[in-house]
Each structure stands twice: as C-alpha cells, then as structure tokens.
Amino acid sequence: MRPVDPGDLGPFLAVARHRSFRRAAVDLGTSASALSHAVRSLETRLGLRLFNRTTRSVALTEVGERLFKRVQPAFQDVALALEDLDAFRDTPTGVLRLNGSSIAVRMVLAPLVARFLATAPRMSSMNAASSSSSPSRRSMARRVPPSRLALNSRCGSSTEAPLAKVSFTAAL
C-alpha cells in the first residue's frame, strides 16, 4: 500500500455519504469525472475496491463500509473543531495597552475602556500611566477633538502581524 494523504479521503467520504458520484460532485463543486478519478486513484493506492459501481448505482464494498465507519467520525470532529474557531474571528481577543498621563487615563480613558471591555469579554487592559506631561503629549492632545475619542486595539505580539484590529469610538 502506498501512503494516503488524509485529504485524499474527502472525495471518498462525499461519494460514500451521497451514494452517488454526481451528487457528491455537486456538493464538492467538481465534476463527477474528476471525483471518479480521485476515488479510483485512492483505490489503486490502497490496493482495494471501495465501491461497487454499476451504470445506475454506487454501493460501498465491505472494505469501503468499514473505512467509511472509521474515518467519517474523525472528519466530523475536525469539521466541528474548525467551526469552533469561528467564534474567535468576530470577537476581539487580547490585551488593550493604554499609554498616557495618569490624569488622562483616570478621567478620560477609564470610563471608555470599561465600556469597551464590557463589549469584548475576551479582552483585558494594561495601563501605562505616567505623571509627567511632555510637550509632545500636550500638543497631541490638542489635535484630538474633545468630543470624540477612538481606541484601536491590535491583537498579537509586536513581532507578529496583528490577528485582528478593533476600533471603538465614543462620544465624550
């Protein structure tokens, strides 16, 4: 038996589930001919027939039925595990790092961050407040309109590309 890649089992599972090359091909978005060749290639590598084919029907052989019963639950588990990851795509996760003077953090940012964190339960905050106000901080503060404040969060470490970017704007 030559090695079989787990990805090669997808066409087999689709045909076994549908009991039809045509319906399995529609499900996978390919042609019945391509699917038939993929299954035939798998059978050749295994050295076993998985399906009994006639012009009108497709049926699993005893070996095919056995393989289907063993492999199908594993593929379902993988599909469920991948679905579980979707919850992380739409939810910000990570640490929101804030830098600013202690007065600004306490008076302006703290209430906004509290509201933001209430909407993003997988986020936490880390504040780095200083008591000094350098001229550059004062001039930057003048450029931000006092009626609106935007918070941006990038998830991931500083050496990696961010996994997500989240913006939160609140009226003051």
Per-residue pLDDT reduced to its tens digit, 89-132:
777 777 877 777 777 777 877 788 888 888 887 787 766 655 55
Alpha-carbon distance of 101 to 103, in angstroms, equals 5
| pLDDT for 84 beyond 90 | no
Per-residue pLDDT reduced to its tens digit, 24-54:
999 999 999 999 999 999 999 999 999 999 8
In 3D space, the residue among 16, 89, 88, 83 whose CA is nearest the CA of residue 51 turns out to be 16
Considering the entire predicted model, what is its pTM? 0.53
State the pLDDT at residue 92: 76
State the pLDDT at residue 4: 84
Angle among Cα 167, 169, 172 to the nearest 5 degrees reads 155
Domains of the chain: 6-86 (1.10.10.10), 94-171 (3.40.190)
